[in-house]
Structure 1
C-alpha cells in the first residue's frame, strides 16, 4: 500500500470479499543516509497508531552502511526532503484503521539503492534513458517483497500453519496472494494454474507496460482487484465507502476520502517538485559539456550541451539558435555530442523500427505464435506464409496506443556478425537481440527505454531498446553509426 486511492481500494475490496488482509508499506528511500546536507521538515500530519499491534518495522531492515550500500556524495544546495514517505506511511496506517486491517512497514531502501537506483544512474552514464518504475516492479515490489513474504510465513501453497487455535480454527501463517492496486489483469488456467498478464479494462490507466518484465511464476501469486474498474469508478467507490463509514455529517474527511482526493503521484518520489529531472541527476552525475550539432555528427555546431544525461530523444533540447524549435535526435557518448533537429515532427525523429536487447518472456519461453510467424516468414512457399505481416503490437512508452509490428531474433556469430539459424524454441530463446519493425513510423525511439510486446490483450514480455532503425534516406548522413541503426 502506498497511501493512494488505488492501493487503498485494493485493500478495501479484498477485505469486503472476505479475505484476511494485511497492508504492507514499502520504505524504499533512506533520507538519513542520502546526504548530509538535507534539512528535515516536520511531518504534515500526525496519526494515532497505537491500535496497530502489528505495525512494526520489518526485521529485514539493514544498516545502510553495509552490503554495498554506499550513498553517493552530493553537490546540490541545502533543500528540504523531497519524498513524502513519512506522510504516506501515516496515510497507510490511517486507511488500514478505517478498513479494519493491520499494517506493516517494510524497509527495502538498501535493495532499492543497489538494484534500481544505481542501475538507473549507470544507464544515464551510458547515454540511455532508463525506466526505473519497470525495474522497481521487477526487483522490489514483485521481487524483494515476494521473497520477504516467502521467508515470513510463505506465499501460496508454501505458507505454513502455526497450530494456534482461534475462533475460526487453525490460524495459518503467511499469505495466499500478494495484491496491488495496479490496473492490469491476471488470468490463470483452471487446470494448470499457469498465469497470463492481460491489459486492464481502463486502457488509459493500463499498467501492463510497467509489469512486462515479471515472470509467470510470480504472477501465479498476484491479485489485481482493480482490473475491472476505471480510475473514476475507483475514486467514486472510495468516496462512497468513506461517506457510509462516517459517524455523522460533521466528521472530518475520512482516510479513504483523503486517499480519493489525494493528488496522484507521478515519477520517482524522492525527486520531489523540481523543474527538471536533470537537476536531480546532477547531484549524482558530473555534467560534461559538449557540442550540439544539427542533424548528425557532421552537422553544424550551434551550441554547447550541459551533460548528455540531461537529454532524451524527442524532447525539447533547450538550445537557442535562430528562431527554431530544436529537438533532441540522439546523444553520442563517444564524441560527447548532442544531435538536434528542427521541429517536434521532423522526419528524422521517426523510425521504422528498433533493435531490442535483454528480452524477457513472461511465460519463460517465446510464444508459439512467434515461432509460427518466423517459420512462415522463412518459408519459400508463399502459400505457407501468414497473411498478417504484423501479427503483434508493441508499445515503446506508457499510454501509447499499441502499434502493429513484426519481430524477429538476430542471431550472431562469435565475431558479432549476423547469421541465419533454424527457428526453434531453443534458438529463439537464446537470442540476445531482436529486430522489431512497425507498420507505421514511430516517433522518438529512445535507447534504454522499455519495449513491450502484446498479442491482442495479452502482454508477452518486454525488452530494453538498444537502438532505432534508420530510415534509408538518412542512413548515409551519419558516418558515426552502422548503416542500419542509430545508437
Structure 2
C-alpha cells in the first residue's frame, strides 16, 4: 500500500521511504513464493488524512494522523471488490468474538496484543465493526522478539531491519516543523510568560509547538511544569463506538461508567469515568490529574480492565484542575 507521493514535494520518488519498503516487500514475497502488488492510495491519504490534519495543526491542535487509517476503509473496500474475504495486517493488536445484547451473532472486539509495549490497538481505536470483522492480526499472540526470531529462522530479508518510527509522510530524518512549513504559512504571535504575564518572545505559528513539549525560548530559564498544564478530565468530539449500536448503557447515566483511557501513543492508559454530554461529545473524568493534554489528539476508551477497546474521539478541550 503506497500512501504518500513524494513527487508532491520534490518532483521525484528517488530515495523515498515507500520505495525502500516496496523493495523489501518484493524480496520477501519472492523468498516465500507469494505474488505481490502495490496499490496506490496516496490520493485517498491526502484527502482523508493529511488535509484534515493540516487544518488542525494550523489551528494549534495536535492531531494524530496515524489513527486515521485508510487501510481498513479504502484498501479493504478494494480487496472486497476483488472477492477477498480477509485483510491480514502486521499490527500488534487482537480480535476476540463475543455476544452482544443487540445481535444474535458473535461480534468482533478489538483487544490489546500480548506484547503490551508494541500494542497498536490505540491506532486502530476508530475502526468500524464491519471492517474489524474482516481483519486478521497474526501477531496478536506474539512478542516482538518472537517475530524477529521467526524472521531469522526462515531467512527473511527483513529479519534485521530497524523499526520505522516516523510519521508516514515525514519519515524519520526530517524535522517535523520544517516539513509542515511547506504547507502552512507563518502566523506570528507573542509568547507570554504565564507567571509574569510579560511577553518573552515571538512564535511563527502555534503548529510549531504542542502542549508539554518543554520548548526552549531564547533568554528564558527552564521552569518546572506549571499547574495550568494539569487536567482533571477531557471532552471529546465525534466519539465513535466500535459497536456503534451498543455503547455501554451506563454512559447515559448520572454516574457514567468506569473505564480506562489512553490519550497518547506509547503512554499507559489511566483510570477514569466516562459519560455522554451530547450525541457526539463524550466527557472523561480522570481519577488522577493528567499532564499536558493536547486538543486534537485521540482519546481511546477501554473497558475497566484496560484490554477491550470500545472506541475513540478527538480531544476538543481539557478540563483544568480546580
Q: TM-score scaled by structure 1?
A: 0.62
Residue 186 (structure 2) pairs with residue 186 (structure 1): no
Q: CA deviation at 1:120?
A: 1.0
* Matched residue, 2:242: 362
* Matched residue, 2:24: 91
Match of 1:112 among 45, 50, 57: 45
Match of 1:214 among 97, 108, 127: 127
Residue 255 (structure 2) pairs with residue 377 (structure 1): yes
* Matched residue, 2:81: 151
The aligned runs of 1:52-131 (5 Å cut-off) are 83-131=16-64
In 2, the alpha carbon distance for the partners of 1:286 and 1:278 equals 12
* Matched residue, 2:113: 200
In 2, the alpha carbon distance for the partners of 1:346 and 1:364 equals 39
Q: CA deviation at 1:145?
A: 0.5
* Matched residue, 1:141: 71
In 2, the alpha carbon distance for the partners of 1:196 and 1:274 equals 36
Quick check: 2:6–2:12 contact (8 Å CA) kept in 1?
no
Match of 1:460 among 293, 310, 316: 310
Q: What RMSD, in angstroms, separates the aligned Cα atoms of the two structures?
A: 2.0
Residue aligned with 1:144, SS = helix
Q: Which has the higher contact order (CA 8 A, sep 6+)?
A: 2
* Matched residue, 2:208: 310
Residues 1:30 and 1:408: Cα distance change in structure 2 (over 3 Å): same
Q: CA deviation at 1:108?
A: 0.7
Q: CA deviation at 1:289?
A: 1.4
Residues 1:348 and 1:110: Cα distance change in structure 2 (over 3 Å): same
Q: CA deviation at 1:29?
A: 1.5
* Matched residue, 2:151: 238
Quick check: 2:299–2:313 contact (8 Å CA) kept in 1?
yes
> How many aligned positions are there?
316
Whose Rg is larger?
Answer: 1
Residue 270 (structure 2) pairs with residue 403 (structure 1): yes
Q: TM-score scaled by structure 2?
A: 0.92
Residue 14 (structure 2) pairs with residue 31 (structure 1): no
* Matched residue, 1:353: 233
Residue aligned with 2:213, SS = coil
Q: CA deviation at 1:262?
A: 1.0
Residue aligned with 1:236, SS = helix
The aligned runs of 1:375-454 (5 Å cut-off) are 375=253, 377=255, 391-411=258-278, 431-454=279-302
Q: CA deviation at 1:377?
A: 2.7
Quick check: 1:193–1:220 contact (8 Å CA) kept in 2?
no
In 2, the alpha carbon distance for the partners of 1:272 and 1:223 equals 27
In 2, the alpha carbon distance for the partners of 1:397 and 1:445 equals 9
Gaps of 5+ in 1: 1-25, 42-80, 154-174, 243-255, 326-341, 379-389, 412-430, 473-487
Match of 2:194 among 295, 298, 301: 295
The aligned runs of 1:150-169 (5 Å cut-off) are 150-153=80-83
Quick check: 1:448–1:466 contact (8 Å CA) kept in 2?
yes
In 2, the alpha carbon distance for the partners of 1:313 and 1:125 equals 15
Quick check: 1:393–1:403 contact (8 Å CA) kept in 2?
yes
Q: CA deviation at 1:38?
A: 4.4
Gaps of 5+ in 2: none
Quick check: 1:287–1:308 contact (8 Å CA) kept in 2?
no
